[in-house]
Chains A and B, each alone.
Chain A
Amino acid sequence: MAEYSALSLLKNALSGNRDWKPAWRKPDPKPSYDVIVIGGGGHGLATAYYLAAEHGITNVAVLEKGWLGSGNIGRNTTIVRSNYLLPESLRFYEFSMKLWENLSHELNYNVMFSQRGVLNLAHSPGQADAFIRRGNAMRHSGVDAEWLTPQQIARKVPGLDTSKSARFPVVGGLLQPRAGTARHDAIAWGYARAADRRGVDLIENCEVTGFLRTGDQITGVSTTRGEIRAKKVALAVAGSTSRVLQRAGIERFPIESHVLQAFVSEAIKPFVDCVVTFGAGHLYMSQSDKGGLVFGGSLDFYNSYAQRGNLPTVEDVMSEICAMFPSVARLRLLRSWGGVMDMSMDGSPIITRGPLPGLYLNCGWCYGGFKATPASGYSFAWTIAKDEPHAINAPFTLSRFERGAAIDETGHGPIPKLH
Chain B
Amino acid sequence: MLIDCPHCGPRDLAEFSYQGDATRTRPDLASTDTKAWLDYVYHRPNPAGRHREFWQHAGGCRAHLVVERDTLTHEIFTVSFARKTSGGDAA
Q: Which residues of A contact B (CB under 8 A)?
A: 240, 242-243, 251-257, 301-306, 310-312, 315, 345, 401-402, 414-415, 417
B21-37 interface bits toward A, Cβ cutoff 8 Å, 1 = contact, 0 = none: 10000000000001000
Minimal Cβ-Cβ distance residue in A for B73: A306
Minimal Cβ-Cβ distance residue in A for B51: A303
Contacts A257-B71, A310-B1 hold; do A305 and B12 have CB atoms under 8 A apart? no
Contacts A257-B71, A310-B13 hold; do A303 and B53 have CB atoms under 8 A apart? yes
- Say yes or no: B13 contacts A256, CB within 8 Å: no
- Say yes or no: B42 contacts A302, CB within 8 Å: no
- Say yes or no: A253 contacts B46, CB within 8 Å: yes
A301 to B12, CA, bound (A): 14
A402 to B18, CA, bound (A): 26
Contacts A255-B46, A310-B13 hold; do A302 and B38 have CB atoms under 8 A apart? no
Q: Is the interface of B mostly helix, strand, loop or mixed?
A: mixed
> How far is the CB of B19 from the nearest CB of chain A, in Å?
9
Interface residues on B, range: 20 to 34
A242 to B51, CA, bound (A): 14
Which 4 interchain pairs have the tightest Cβ spacing? A242-B46, A312-B14, A252-B43, A254-B42
- Say yes or no: A312 contacts B12, CB within 8 Å: yes
Task: Tell me, yes or no, whether B45 is within 8 Å of chain A by CB.
Answer: yes
- Say yes or no: A243 contacts B18, CB within 8 Å: no
Contacts A303-B53, A305-B48 hold; do A345 and B71 have CB atoms under 8 A apart? no
> How far is the CB of A401 from the nearest CB of chain B, in Å?
5
Chain A residues with Cβ under 8 A from B69's Cβ?
A: 302
Chain B residues with Cβ under 8 A from A243's Cβ?
A: 48
- Say yes or no: A255 contacts B44, CB within 8 Å: yes
